[in-house]
Chain A
Amino acid sequence: MVDQNLEKKILELKNKYPRKESALMPALMLAQKANSNYLSEEDIEKVSAIIGVPPGKSYGVTTYYSMYNVLGKVGKYHLQVDTNIPATLMGALEIVKHLEKRLGIKAGETTPDGLFTLSTVECLGSCGTCPVIQVNDTYYENMTPEKVDQLLESLKKGVYPERAVEYNYGTACNVLLKNRGAKDATSIATYQANGGYKALDKALKMEPQAIIDEVKNAGIRGRGGAGFPAGVKWGFLAKNTGKPVYLVCNADEGEPGTFKDRQIMEYDPHLLVEGMAISARALGAKLAFIYIRGEFGWIADILEKAIAEAKADGKLADLDIIVHRGAGAYVCGEETALIESIEGKRGQPRMKPPFPAVEGLYGCPTIVNNVETLASVPFVVEHGADAFKKWGRENNYGFKLFGVSGAVNKPGVYEYPMGVSFKELIAAAGGYKGKVKAAIVGGLSTPILKVEELETLKMDYTSCEEHGTALGSGGVMVIGEEFSIPEIALRTIQFYAHESCGKCAPCAQGSHTVVLILKKLLAGHGEPKDLEILERIVNTINVVGSTLCPTGQAYAAPVKAMVEKFRGEFEALIK
């Protein structure tokens, strides 16, 4: 129920944003929380009226993002098990089976007492600590059947158990993970004691253009996945438009296999805040946003606290940073979809041009950068472009976080110079666990490599391209010998079909159709023409421009590679 108290909160939200529509998503989330985790039609209509948007628009928003519960009520505890590729590689399906047995329900059902709803969900961004169960807003990672039992016992008593954190990490560069392991790493005091905010002090004495030049000279390529040089992007910013400029941090980390940005935000939030403060100064932005995926609620809290500390400490001067929470949509990692989402809409990509640097958020010039990119800016400014370029090689400079998951002994996040050999990275992650047949090295959207192809691979843009894949977000998933590639292909395409925004026909219908074809093959009903049609779809969609945004290629390329490199496994499924 949307009562007066809630209405007041919604009106406050409305005033927080430059445009009222931006308050829609957080307002709907508040209404859902106030109504035992469920949004009724009445709630939607009421919230729409308060914000001043048509109810159809709100309904479209609530059914677009997976975290709104509109179509069915859920239990008091919504247990959501990540069953995406990295999780599957690390035993998530056993956890699901165990939960089904313990609760006496199937995934998608609610216990008769209304206490538990069990769901399988797509990547929760915890690939290094899988299996993971999200209970309402709280993550429980590195789950085992025993831990599941303890969790259920505790929840039955109405108590959320303490989150135990057992991460593997390592750094060879000591920049992005520098404060990792420090006591009170998230506090401004710790950050400053370890030399934080010096770059900002320096930046405040520099001309904005000098900052831009430094970043451009460093040649840092966007760490979100596309690898576009950040300084060049900044250079595209439309000047003297008379409109405000916005800086947006893309913290919608959602590419399966990727769990690097959360390391920065969760353990060194001031590094990001400092990076944003410097970047905002360079770009002339007075308002910045951090768009963080909705599942990372507690991380958003950490960021808000860090921003408040920085503000109180006078670090931000006239800059405001709003932490805007997503609500479960992979496509919002695409910058125009992300902008749409901040504007309170269904997070679907826009046509380009115009590019955000010219016409982005609220139609104003906007720069969208990934967390890791922005967190790298203080180093570049403090130590100079040349210091940054000590690492890596032409077109591939600097340090980078790599997430390693799957069949390795120490899955986790590792900071290495660009161009580190794949072998060295795997060694840092404890080496292969068991016999390995392949790996996906740049997040799920990149083409798979057979184990022998990995021998010569270096982890940078150029080497990955030479090996027929892409560095992407640096999310490495190692696939053990026991896994069937057609099953991995199905799991891959299921993710993209689930996350396809539905705006363009070939992506939405194509991904769904590939799911149906692979299911048919795996059910033993395959015919030769099925594989032909599958290849026709992925080959066609693999062409840039066949879909509105890169999501089409994000599923076409990996599935295409799986079929091409492991054709025998697919053909074996055909009668």
Chain B
Amino acid sequence: MQIMINGNRMEAKEGQTVLQAALANGVYIPHLCYHEKVGAAGKCRACVVEIDGMRGLQTSCSVLAKEGMVVNTQTETALQAQRLVIDLMLSTGKHDCLACEQNGHCELQDAAYFLGIERPSILYADIDREIDTTSEFVHVDRNKCISCGRCVAACNGTVVNQVIDFGMRGHSTEIVFNTNKKMADSTCVQCGECSQICPVGALIDKNSIGKGRIWELDKVSSVCPYCGVGCKLELYVDRKTNKIVKVEGAEDGPTNDGMLCIKGRYGYDFVGHPDRLKTPLIKENGQFREATWDEAIDLVVSKFSAIKEKYGPDSIMALSSAKVTNEENYTFQKLVRTGFQTNNVDHCARL
């Protein structure tokens, strides 16, 4: 179908909201509580627009596009309302972008940039909320929380861990963990869904703090190395240090829809761990010594050949791995079958 946005004819799909249609056509409308995964909430009111034939302002996140609809996202009334929302959010929180981990992928920052709000102008509230650093993996700063509700919706509706909720009321509303416990004392399983969906710097992956600006990192798509669900990952890599500094669930991951568990999201330390094996080792007199690849491969081949010669091919057993790739399982069994002439190859599927 076709709709008019700001005087331009644009294509919209059946079932798309005005916001979705606008974004798909490259028209930005500020929005903070809407996220594809948790849907429209109509809470932040930053996405209000004017639509011909409809009274007052409409939240573009909730109104479905209709054939011939005429939408104006930038009338003075709409812009004034959008600006007030963003200005109030900036003014009633502590949004110091300079050292904020979210800088560069903060949706509040994007909205302020778009609306040309250089600094907050409604400075009356005195904000000083205690920062909760108790959790192993999630840093909680309620001074930056804009009560968008995405984490609450995600914790209850997406990962269904039912830990985060809203407590208090009015401007005192804040996210709470269980009965307002510290995050570490709550039933939180630290899946990190909340930090991934947080549009601002309120819920941050602790291990990533100070490890690199988002625009300096490369994003690489992979698959989680832990259980067999096959959650798709986005690895954020610092090329200069050759380190993974952050992991997110891929929102288009077909099995995980962006979700991960504590291991998939935070269990990447082993990759860059100092104890990693860096050279082949050969044991001599009960002690390992570093060896070259040539030495090691020579030894392996000569030993296996000798044993095969002496005891027959079936005296050799090969254990493959459920943690290496298909390609490597393939080459391993091919090696065993074509090189050692035995079918003695197995892996730990049963354990």
Residues from chain A with a CB closer than 8 A to the CB of B172 are: 502
Contact pick for A501, options B45, B84, B169, CB 8 Å: B169
B162: A residues at CB distance < 8 A = 54, 56-57
Closest residue on chain B to residue A346 by CB atoms: B166
Q: Is A503 an interface residue (CB 8 A)?
A: yes
Interface residues of A in 44-60 (CB under 8 A from B): 44-45, 54-60
Q: Which residues of A contact B85 (CB under 8 A)?
A: 505-506
Distance of A285 Cα from B103 Cα, bound (Å): 54
CB-CB under 8 A for A545 and B59, given A59-B180, A508-B173:
yes
Given contacts A516-B124, A543-B57, contact A60 B167 (CB under 8 A): yes
Q: Taking A60-B167, A506-B88 as contacts, is the C-beta distance between A545 and B57 under 8 angstroms?
A: yes
CB distance B168 to A546 under 8 Å?
no
Residues of B within 8 A of A258 (CB): none
Chain B proximity mask over A551-570: 1 for CB below 8 Å, otherwise 0? 00000000000000000000
B65 at the interface (CB under 8 A from A): no
**Given the known A-B contacts A504-B45, A512-B92, are A544 and B170 also in contact in the complex, defined by CB atoms under 8 Å?**
no
A572 at the interface (CB under 8 A from B): no
Give, as a whole number of angstroms, the nearest-CB distance from A71 to chain B.
Answer: 9
Number of cross-chain contacts by CB at 8 Å: 150
Known interface pairs A505-B88, A509-B89, A544-B55. Does A351 touch B41 (Cβ–Cβ under 8 Å)?
Answer: yes
Q: Are A547 and B45 in contact (CB under 8 A)?
A: yes
Among candidates A45, A502, A544, A545, residue contacting B169 with C-beta atoms closer than 8 Å: A502
Contact of A505 among B43, B156, B176 (CB under 8 A): B43
CB B132 to nearest CB in A, in angstroms, measures: 15
The interface on chain A, measured as residues whose beta carbon lies within 8 A of the other chain's beta carbons, has a size of 46
Q: Which chain B residue has the least Cβ–Cβ distance from A58?
A: B179
Q: Please tell me which one of the listed residues B46, B84, B146 contacts residue A510 in the complex, with CB atoms under 8 A apart.
A: B84
Contact A502 B166 (CB under 8 A): yes
Interface string of A509-529 (1 = CB under 8 A from B): 111110011001000000000
**A259 to chain B: closest CB distance in Å?**
24
**Chain A residues positioned under 8 Å from B125 (CB to CB):** 509, 512-513, 516
Interface residues of B in 29-50 (CB under 8 A from A): 40-46, 48
Stretch in A137-145, A235-243, A396-404, A534-542 touching the partner: A534-542
Q: Is the interface of B mostly helix, strand, loop or mixed?
A: loop
Report B57-100 CB contacts with A as 1/0, cut-off 8 Å: 11100100000000000000100110011001101100000000
A499 at interface by CB-CB < 8 Å:
yes
Q: Check B176 against A60 for contact (C-beta < 8 Å).
A: yes
Given contacts A516-B124, A544-B55, A546-B48, contact A509 B42 (CB under 8 A): no
Tell me the complex Cα distance, A323–B46, Å.
38
Give the nearest-CB partner of B50 in chain A: A545
A533 CB contacts on chain B under 8 angstroms: 121-122
Contacts of A55 in B (CB 8 A): 178-179
Q: Which A residues are CB-close (under 8 A) to B171? A: 497, 500, 502, 508-509, 511-512
**B104 at the A interface (CB under 8 A):** no
Question: Is B165 touching A497 in the complex (CB atoms < 8 A)?
Answer: no
Cα separation A497 to B169 with both chains bound (whole Å): 10
B179 A44 Cβ-Cβ under 8 A: yes
- Contact in complex: A513, B124 (CB < 8 Å): yes
Which B residues are in CB contact (< 8 Å) with A516? 124-125
Q: Does A450 count as interface, using CB distance less than 8 angstroms? A: no
- Contact A505 B45, beta carbon cutoff 8 Å: yes
Asked if B56 and A545 make an inter-chain contact with CB atoms under 8 angstroms apart, the answer reads yes
9 chain-A/chain-B pairs, Cβ below 8 angstroms: A54-B163, A329-B169, A500-B171, A506-B84, A520-B124, A536-B80, A537-B122, A546-B57, A548-B42
3 cross-chain pairs, A with B, having the tightest CB-CB distances, nearest first: A544-B56, A502-B173, A545-B57
